[in-house]
Amino acid sequence: MIKDFVLNTKKNEKIRITTYGYENLETAPCLIFVHGFKGFKDWGFWPYSGNFFAGKGFFVLSFNFSHNGIGDGVSEFTELDKFAKNTFSLELEELNEIIDAYLQNFFGERKSKKIGIIGHSRGGGDALIVSSKRNEIDAVVTWAAVANFNRYTKRQAKEWQRTGFFEVLNTRTNQMMRLNVSLLEDIEKNKTDLLNIEKAANNLNKPLLILHGEQDLTVKIEEGEQIYSWSNKKLTEFHKIKAAGHTFDITHPFEGSNSKFDSVLDKTLNFFKQHLN
């Protein structure tokens, strides 16, 4: 069963949440999906993945960060002003609030205390950082995760500082999406501690599965290798998905799965079965 919720955050923002396998809530482990940059809970593979894991007996939480640009709709970016104001620190705050909400029975009474987390791309970085600081997270999976939040050249950063914003084109919607300089300032202020993915991977000390497409042009396979190099090898698995791109060749709108993404789901499922039982 699918059930939707809205969580009001401490900063009075709205986090829209879709749960899958609501009938599994009471006794099953919880999986939390964390979307990436220009991502959202209803993008491409997320609903399909939610139904997949619900069918395997998990309770799944999929959500939109409050400043991801998606408003009350499903897939249209109608809140570009909020998108511009987003920061990595805000995403980490909100991911922590989602975890707290689950533990405090916001979604309903539960007996299971097991939590797994799946982060894609930038969401993989978020997942690593939060999981490294929270004992309540039992196992972590990254799909095409970034190894560094700073994706910008010195020249871009200089121009960003000068104009006060940076623009990126959303090729799906053809919208020019602005990022305020507050995002760059967040990176600079917190790069050695709060937003340090290397430090998070070093300190994780719990089961980690890294999945990365060999032909990922957005976040190159070397970043997956980097995360693996930082991690505890006794607790970490790293699988390269052959001939796969950044979204494992899944598109939006969703047109069906493929052998590459099926492999991602199967490896993720086996990992969680092993570590969340």
Could you report the per-residue pLDDT of 80-116, keeping only the tens digit for each? 999 999 999 999 999 999 999 999 999 999 999 899 9
pLDDT in tens, 2-41: 999 999 999 999 999 999 999 999 999 999 999 999 999 9
> What's the first-to-final CA gap in the chain, in angstroms?
22
| C-alpha distances in Å from residue 126, one per residue of 79, 145, 254 | 22, 9, 24
How many residues comprise the chain?
Answer: 277
CA distance 165 to 226: 30
C-alpha Rg value of the chain to the nearest Å: 18
- Which residue reads 């993404």 in tokens? 261
Asked whether the CA dihedral 66, 248, 241, 259 is positive or negative, the reply is positive
CA distance 35 to 90: 14
| Low-confidence residues in the chain, pLDDT < 70 | none
Residue 141's contacts (CB-CB under 8 Å, 6 or more residues apart) are 116, 117, 118, 119, 127, 208, 209, 210, 211, 268, 271, 272
Which of 65, 47, 16, 35 lies closest to 253, judged by CA? 47
Which of 24, 25, 50 lies closest to 265, judged by CA? 50
Helix (H, G, I), strand (E, B) or coil at 214: coil
Whole-model pTM: value is 0.98
Spell out the domains of the chain, with CATH numbers in brackets.
Answer: 3-148+192-276 (3.40.50.1820)
Cα dihedral angle (182, 246, 68, 51), rounded to 10 degrees?
A: -150
**Can you list the positions of beta strands (E) in the chain?**
3-8, 14-20, 30-34, 59-63, 115-120, 139-143, 165-170, 175-180, 208-213, 236-241
252: left (phi over 0), alpha (psi -120 to 50) or beta: beta
The tokens of 65 are what?
């960060």
Residue 10 confidence (pLDDT) = 97
Query: Please, are residues 232 and 164 in contact by the beta-carbon 8 Å criterion?
Result: no
Residue 277 confidence (pLDDT) = 86
